């Protein structure tokens, strides 16, 4: 058996274990009774330690070195797989088993406390647990930074966006922070001059909203033999490519929120389902970082899901499922409702013009917290000040402020920038798809997402991690990430 073949065997088992953990994590968030938290924390910690031990086995380093000597005999997929194996090995071997287990337990405890603190709107309730998580994240980031030759924050970012660096992101975000506020002001002024949007009158029972969501998922091509829709406190996509689990949350006064969550998470799920089946249990068969992943969800939710063509399709479907009638349900009015721009407190409910400001705030704050430039006790005040600076509003409580997202409390530091990188990726991909598929708007207006999904399968999904994020975008669109495409999209949709 060659060294490379042995590595494939070992990584196959590793991904089978990680997949089991993914389903456990989904169950934790969507189905598990609160009394099961302690037992589940034990299970998750045990799996994470076993996974860490497998990849950090000294034999793996030797196998990687020997496989490099065999590289001439590998095909393009195998060579890319070997490179991804090496990258994951560097990340894992930078940490010892003690730190992996400590992080798992601390994140589990912090997430559970966050679930109590958020409805109570009390950051102080979870601050001690978050302080422990932050200390461990800093320790892990510093250990990885030493191996990767980068800053602590960049090492954390690299987990979610391989090769991503804050020095490259910062000028892009600074540009958006400069150009978006005046654009937003023009849009808000124009929309105000057009008069108030008619809001469909509720309430909208959860069971009817769920039925509408399932119908839209079917339209988007979701395979219900390989996935399901459930409810959670925070919408997310989990599970594994052959068993994709997505969730949303419902508000009986607002059906748009839940449906947009469904469309967003279906975009994530379709990416997972489209990954190359032959490489399911290998690093090269996984998604190509979170900016690409968010690009798929935001392409469906923002680019296609809020287009006039889709609203023409959705209007009669929404009336049918929600029992609506009258001018509030007309496609013109629904389009105005879906593209309404106004600064709000909650990131996941934000329109695409204000959304980047939410991400820029989190990017700034988490860098300051990781670097020690911001004390954790000062996070709520710094959050509120940042919201005032970027969006001109101040959250009324911690619930609408620094408690709204699960990410930091669950140990995901360095994740947030990928949301806006993903928004720009989505705009660029949808622009390229539109040029490649001249009849795309007509297909979507008719409820046919087949052409779009087929284009994504061929140009993005099916490549897994064979290419870098930059290489994948260049392959699909002919250029590297260009913020100008995103800004032009906003200007065309909202000011055109």
In sequence order, what are the beta bridge partners of 229?
246
Residue pair 113/125 in contact (Cβ under 8 Å)? The answer is: yes
265 classed as catalytic:
yes
Tell me the torsion sign for CA atoms 243, 244, 249, 252. Answer: negative
Longest dimension (CA), the chain: 72
Residue pair 204/310 in contact (Cβ under 8 Å)? The answer is: no
Q: In the 3-class helix/strand/coil scheme, how is 95-131 assigned residue by residue?
A: CCHHHHHHHHHHHHHHHHHHHHHHHHCCHHHHHHHHH
CA dist 35 and 411 (Å) reads: 22
CA dist 433 and 415 (Å) reads: 27
CA dihedral 316, 318, 320, 325 (to 10 degrees): -80
CA of residue 11 relative to chain centroid, distance: 24
At residue 439's C-alpha, the angle toward residues 438 and 442, to 5°, is 145
Tell me the torsion sign for CA atoms 145, 467, 428, 347. Answer: negative
- List, in sequence order, every beta strand (DSSP E) within 387-472: none
Q: Given the structure tokens 């894992």, which residue do they identify?
A: 92
CB within 8 Å of 494: residues ≥ 6 apart: 183, 187, 190, 339, 341, 353
Residue 421 CB neighbour total at 10 angstroms: 28
**What is 148-198 written as a DSSP string?**
HTS-HHHHHHHHHSTT--HHHHHHHHHHHHHHHHHHHHHHHHHHHHT-PPP
Q: 237-240 and 227-231 as β-strands: parallel, antiparallel, unpaired?
A: unpaired
Instruction: Return the DSSP state at 402.
Output: T
CA of residue 397 relative to chain centroid, distance: 25
Residue pair 468/290 in contact (Cβ under 8 Å)? The answer is: no
What radius of gyration, in Å, describes the C-alpha atoms of the chain? Answer: 22
Kindly name the residue from 8, 84, 161, 265 that is annotated as catalytic. 265
Hey, which residues are catalytic here?
265
């Amino acid at each position: 058996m060659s060294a490379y073949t042995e590595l494939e065997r070992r990584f196959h088992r590793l991904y089978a274990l990680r997949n089991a953990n993914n389903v456990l994590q989904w169950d934790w968030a969507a189905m598990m009774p609160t009394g099961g938290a302690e037992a589940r924390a034990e299970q998750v910690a045990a799996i994470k330690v076993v996974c860490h031990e497998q990849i950090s086995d000294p034999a793996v380093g030797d196998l990687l070195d020997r496989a490099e000597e065999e590289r001439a005999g590998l095909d393009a997929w195998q060579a890319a797989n070997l490179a991804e194996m090496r990258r994951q090995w560097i990340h894992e071997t930078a940490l010892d088993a003690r730190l992996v287990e400590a992080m798992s337990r601390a994140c589990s405890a912090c997430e559970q406390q966050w679930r109590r603190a958020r409805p109570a709107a009390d950051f102080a309730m979870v601050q001690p647990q978050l302080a422990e998580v932050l200390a461990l994240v800093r320790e892990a980031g510093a250990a990885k930074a030493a191996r990767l030759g980068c800053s602590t924050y960049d090492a954390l970012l690299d987990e979610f966006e391989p090769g991503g660096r804050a020095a490259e992101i910062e000028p892009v975000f600074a540009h958006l922070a400069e150009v978006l506020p005046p654009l937003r002001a023009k849009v808000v002024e124009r929309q105000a001059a057009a008069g108030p949007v008619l809001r469909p009158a509720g309430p909208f029972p959860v069971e009817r909203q769920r039925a509408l969501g399932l119908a839209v998922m079917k339209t988007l091509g979701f395979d219900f033999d390989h996935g399901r829709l459930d409810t959670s406190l925070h919408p997310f996509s989990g599970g594994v490519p052959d068993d994709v689990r997505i969730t949303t949350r419902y508000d009986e006064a607002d059906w748009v929120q839940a449906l947009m969550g469904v469309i967003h998470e279906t975009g994530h799920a379709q990416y997972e389902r489209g990954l190359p089946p032959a490489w399911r249990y290998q690093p090269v068969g996984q998604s190509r970082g979170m900016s690409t992943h968010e690009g798929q969800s935001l392409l469906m939710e923002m680019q296609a899901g809020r287009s006039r063509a889709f609203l023409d399709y959705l209007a009669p479907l929404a009336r049918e499922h929600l029992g609506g009638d009258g001018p509030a349900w007309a496609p013109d009015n629904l389009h105005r409702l879906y593209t309404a721009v106004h600064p709000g407190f909650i990131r996941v409910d934000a329109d695409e013009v204000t959304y980047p400001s939410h991400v820029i705030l989190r990017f700034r704050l988490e860098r300051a917290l990781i670097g020690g430039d911001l004390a954790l006790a000062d996070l709520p005040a710094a959050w509120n000040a940042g919201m005032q600076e970027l969006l001109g509003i101040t959250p009324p409580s911690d619930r609408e402020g620094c408690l709204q997202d699960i990410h930091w409390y669950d140990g995901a530091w360095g994740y947030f920038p990928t949301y806006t990188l993903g928004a720009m990726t989505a705009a660029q991909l949808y622009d390229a798809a539109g040029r490649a598929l001249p009849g795309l708007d007509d297909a979507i207006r008719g409820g046919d997402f087949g052409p779009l999904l087929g284009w994504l399968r061929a140009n993005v999904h099916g490549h897994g991690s064979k290419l870098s994020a930059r290489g994948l975008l260049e392959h699909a669109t002919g250029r590297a990430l260009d913020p100008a495409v995103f800004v032009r999209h906003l200007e065309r949709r909202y000011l055109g």
